[in-house]
Structure 1
Amino acid sequence: MTLRVLVPTAQFAQAIRGPEIEAIVWHINDSPEDALAADVLVTERPREFENRARVGSIPGLRHVHLLSIGSDWILGHMPAAVTLSNSRGAVEDATAEHGMALILAALRELPTAAVQQRRHDWAPLWTSSLHGSVVLVLGYGGVGKELFSRLEPFRPAALIPVASGARVLDDGRQIHGTVELPELLPQADVVVVTLPHNDSTAHLVDANFLARMKDGALLVNIGRGPVVDTDALLAELSSGRLRAALDVTDPEPLPADHPLWDAPGCLITPHMAGNTAEFVRLATEITVEQLGRISRGEAPLHLVE
């Protein structure tokens, strides 16, 4: 039996096409027509909120495979009995790498240097650094672990991993629980959020959380926008007490007239942490493997409950 698969690009269609797979190019955000009947949808997260519901109107759908780790956007739109998988293993490195870029760019004042370059203004800057800083990583899943390993060679004064529950790893590393945040936050020069969005993490980074961060500290978010209370963050940025580097925001996409764009000390990238050629290569490999398993009647990898 031929497996009918909706894919977002012709590149994916070429990669997965085979004797038992019919690839149909259909992009959940950009294709104006309704989706044709299909067994599997391979999709990225739609940019426009209203397009998320299109998942529920695909005739014959049996499985959705996400070109990402995060699945919060789709859970409320999944038809009954349709299974869901993600691209775990393809995006963690790219996201951690982008997190490092945001941290270093913000600490070393690269946005300010870029403005000076456009003005032809040779004015050397004195900056903070990752070397000698205390860095708290909030979230110790796939992305958090990859970020942690990249931070270590920069010789921070301390690295503090925090997860939902405290535990000690086999190598003796202490993972702190979120209940310890009130005591840990005042120590950190940099706080990096790598958490997914769910009921337990929504607005975890709220006014009380931010108030406990030390003056001049940097908040980096490479997890999900709704983990951070945007209004509370805006208040701290507007006062000049904290800085931020954000790849994700709430709302998202960030409206052109939103005050976060112009908030002092805030560096913003448009949810692009996973957007690399290497991610596409790895995600394509995972997708091909997934479709092969489904066509053979085997359980898909990386199922999301």
Structure 2
Amino acid sequence: MSQRLVVSTPGNALRTMVGEVPEGVEMIRWDMDGPAPVDHIDIAVGPYMGGPEPLAHLETVTTQLVQSQSIGYDGVTGYLPSGRVFANAASVHEASTAELAMALILAVQRGIPDFVRASSQGTWAPARYASLADRRVLIVGYGGIGVALEERLDGFEASVTRVARTARDSSAGRIHGFDELPALLPDAEIVVLAVPLNDETTYMVDAAFLAALPDDALVVNVARGAVIDTDAMLAEARTGRLRFGLDVTDPEPLPEGHELFTLDNVLISPHVGGASTAMLPRMAKLLRRQIDHALAGESFENVVIRP
């Protein structure tokens, strides 16, 4: 094969997981912590953690594709040099993030944090908590994560209402639009946020949104922290009227001693929705598909930013 394709990965784990590659494909390591080691990289994979800032180092190299390891790409355009093709990691994190959303829902509904606190004090504290069965669940954001979450909710006998930016019908049923939220919120016992962060969704969950929910409703955020107005959330959480399960916060990381950590009706995980053993194999499969697309002269998958 005369074609030479250069692919960079930010660490050895992803490179190892990709396995053997076709002849002519050169795999190099570059974690984007400084200038690129070569002048051209066909597929440059960014680091998973640390935000979009490392993308600024792409200024020193030409690329066919910049491949993210995250689904969300808020903030990327502020650092990605112009003229680049950028793909997100759709298909990699949906299952794990939906699992974590389910874990937060079940933990809060069934009182697991209270049981853990009691057992850590050597106390036997039986109590009756709300079920997930028969609850009315509102999924706000019906992309890959929202669909995966509904699939997992299916066996728990909950009633699901779907909401996305634009109303439409799907094979799963009716998907309501954002503009219908004021009419839907008063009936929602559990709200799961799975929207991308953009101008429309930043602080979409504000004081009015939360005030429209019934007493004791649970809000689970596996989207981005800035989807919720933290001050509005604290106002409701302090009174105990609403409950929250948060994998993301604003600010993030949540500073040590932040009031959200002190509230028994707030359960926090440290932005680990996609951080499971499912990530690396799925990321490797996506990267291998992108390599095959490049070799075949085909369009790349998951392109969300293009010149």
The Cα shift of 1:214 comes to 1.0
The corresponding residue for 1:24 is 28
CA deviation after TM superposition for structure 1 residue 260, in Å: 2.1
Aligned match of 1:163: 164
> Counterparts of 1:69-148 in structure 2 under 5 Å?
69-148=71-150
Task: Return 260-269 or 132-141, whichever deviates more.
Answer: 260-269
Asked if structure 1 preserves the Cα contact closer than 8 Å seen for 2:169 and 2:175, the reply is yes
Q: Which moved more, 1:5-14 or 1:204-213?
A: 5-14
Q: Deviations over 1:259-294 (max 9, x none)?
A: 222233111111111112222111101101112322
User: Are the counterparts in 2 of residues 5 and 22 from structure 1 also a CA contact under 8 Å?
Assistant: yes
TM-score, with length taken from structure 2: 0.90
* One-letter identity of the residue aligned with 1:136: L
Displacement after TM superposition at 1:122 (Å): 0.7
| Residue 199 (str. 1) matches residue 199 (str. 2) | yes
Give how far 1:233 is off: 0.7
Per the alignment, residue 181 of structure 1 pairs with 181
Deviation at 1:45, TM superposition (A): 4.1
Match of 1:54 among 49, 53, 56: 56
Shift, 1:297, TM fit: 3.3
Structural mapping, 1:228-239, within 5 Å: 228-239=228-239
String of CA shifts for 1:208-241, please: whole Å, max 9, x gaps. Answer: 1011111111100011111111111111111211
Q: Compute the displacement of 1:133 (Å).
A: 1.1
Counterpart position of 2:226: 226
Q: 2:98 and 2:282 mapped to 1: Cα distance?
A: 15
Please give the alpha-carbon distance, in whole angstroms, between the structure 1 residues aligned to 2:56 and 2:202: 24
The Cα of 1:72 is off from its aligned counterpart by: 1.4
Query: What is the alpha-carbon distance in structure 2 between the residues aligned to residue 26 and residue 92 of structure 1?
Result: 26
How big is each residue's C-alpha offset from its partner over 1:43-76, in whole Å with a ceiling of 9 and x where there is no partner? 2443357x34534444223421111221113222
Percent identity between the aligned chains? 37
Residue 287 (structure 1) aligned with residue 291 (structure 2): no
Alpha-carbon separation, structure 1, partners of 2:228 and 2:48: 20
- Where 2:303 maps in the other structure, the secondary structure is coil
Q: Count the aligned residue pairs.
A: 299
Partner of residue 213, structure 2:
213
Q: Which has the higher contact order (CA 8 A, sep 6+)?
A: 2
| Runs of 4+ displaced beyond 6 Å | none
Q: 1:43 to 1:252 in 2, by over 3 A?
A: same
User: Residue 264 of structure 1 corresponds to which residue in structure 2?
Assistant: 264
Distance in 2, matches of 1:70 and 1:188, equals 26
Cα separation, 2, equivalents of 1:198 and 1:45: 20
Q: RMSD in angstroms over aligned alpha carbons?
A: 2.0
- In structure 2, give the amino acid aligned to 1:146: A
Checking the alignment, whether the CA contact within 8 Å between 1:92 and 1:142 is kept in structure 2 is yes
Residue identity matched to 1:244: F
Name stretches of at least 5 consecutive residues in structure 2 with no aligned partner. none
> Would you say the 8 A contact 1:52–1:73 is kept in 2?
no
Q: For residues 257 and 295 of structure 2, what CA distance do their matches in structure 1 show?
A: 47
Change in Cα spacing, 1:124 to 1:195, as seen in structure 2 (3 Å) is: same
Q: CA 1:2 to 1:259, structure 2 compared with 1: closer, same or farther past 3 Å?
A: farther
- Tell me the distance in 2 between the aligned counterparts of 1:35 and 1:264: 47
> For the structure 1 residues 3 and 228, does the alpha-carbon distance in structure 2 shift closer, same or farther, using more than 3 Å as the test?
same
Encode CA deviations 1:100-151: one digit per residue, 9 max, x unaligned: 1110011111111111111111111211111121111101111111111211
Pair 1:219–1:181, CA change in 2 (3 A): same
Point out where structure 1 has 5 or more consecutive residues left out of the alignment: none
Please give the secondary structure, in 2, of the residue aligned with 1:160.
strand
Distance 1:52 1:187, change over 3 A: farther
